[in-house]
Amino acid sequence: MTNFGPIVTAMVTPFNDDGTVNYKQAVELMDYLIQNKSSTILLTGTTGECPTLSHDEEYELYQLAVKYFKGKVNLMAGTGSNCTKTAITSTQMAQEIGMDSILQVVPYYNKPCQQGIYNHFRAIADATDCPIMIYNIPGRTGVNMTAETVKKCASISNIVALKEAAGSVEQMKEFRAICPIDFHIYSGDDGLTLEFMKEGASGVVSVASHLAGKQIHDMIAAFNNNDITTANALDKILQPLFDVLFITSNPIPVKAALKLIGFNCGTTRPPLMAITEEQNQQVESVLDAFLEKV
């Protein structure tokens, strides 16, 4: 197992009513996530609304994470960009601040070829000592990494893991078969966590762990202990929650759900919109049903 552990929580970025970052709430949320079985906290990823954060806001979040939680949990910085130079600069700053690891997404919008993707990750890896998790999410980037590209990236010493979010168990199996055993693959979709584990995944980069960290932890632990019956039963309980957190663009539903359990993380920044009343009722209904079962 890598030092990322089984549950990487892609944390939301809390905002105040005026749209500024609520750093106090961010620290409180990090503490809560650690108490609820997150083994890694990922800041400024997709769920953290990285496209609408300034670099100064990102660096302030990293500084607070290092100040309060260094050594208590693995701290991962989402420093990806569709500009290789920018990704390198952000990665080096995160390392300088003291973050433990890095998430690097396939360059989006530019739609580079497979060699271009490899060159991008190679340049970033050469510029840092931090372990890197690369991130394949073709639904957002417009490009899907091939197994050969993943294998080439896995040969780079500090590229140690993949977050795979193409939504395909078959593709994950292809990646697992071609990559070294010590290269770790994480599900990028909560709903596929157990299916990915059955095919050799190490864990999940999760949104639902904001609300169900202990239950996801128990599901993974049961699977790792060969208690497949318990793992399947927990997965069945968790699936409605996994589904409702993606009824509209992430992180709109999870921020609404967090408010329902006492964390007012504000709304999302434009161009994302606030949750509708109908959507909020769906989230509340599913969350209530989940909490009754656990």
Exposure class string for 187-207: b at 16+ Cβ within 10 A, else e: bbbbbbbbebbebebbbbbbb
Catalytic residue among 59, 163, 186, 255: 163
Catalytic residue among 135, 152, 186, 255: 135
What confidence tens digit (pLDDT) does each residue in 226-257 have? 999 999 999 999 999 999 999 999 999 999 99
CATH of domain 7-235: 3.20.20.70
Nearest 5°: the CA angle 6, 11, 14 is 160
Q: Is 214 a catalytic residue?
A: no
Contact 194, 207 (CB under 8 A): no
Q: Which of 1, 64, 54, 8 has its CA nearest to residue 206?
A: 8
β-pairing, 40-43 with 159-164? unpaired
The percentage of residues in the chain with a pLDDT greater than 70, rounded to a whole number, is 99
Which residue type sits at 71?
G
What confidence tens digit (pLDDT) does each residue in 5-38 have? 999 999 999 999 999 999 999 999 999 999 999 9
Q: Is 255 a catalytic residue?
A: no
Is residue 1 very low, low, confident or very high in pLDDT (cuts 50, 70, 90)? very low
According to the model, what pLDDT value does residue 3 have?
84
Tell me 12's DSSP state. -
Q: Is the pLDDT of residue 171 over 50?
A: yes
User: How far out from the chain centre does Cα 242 lie?
Assistant: 14
According to the model, what pLDDT value does residue 2 have?
63
pTM above 0.85, yes or no: yes
Q: Is the pLDDT of residue 126 over 80?
A: yes
The alpha helices in 36-113, defined as continuous H runs, are: 55-69, 84-97
What confidence tens digit (pLDDT) does each residue in 187-230 have? 999 999 999 999 999 999 999 999 999 999 999 999 999 999 99
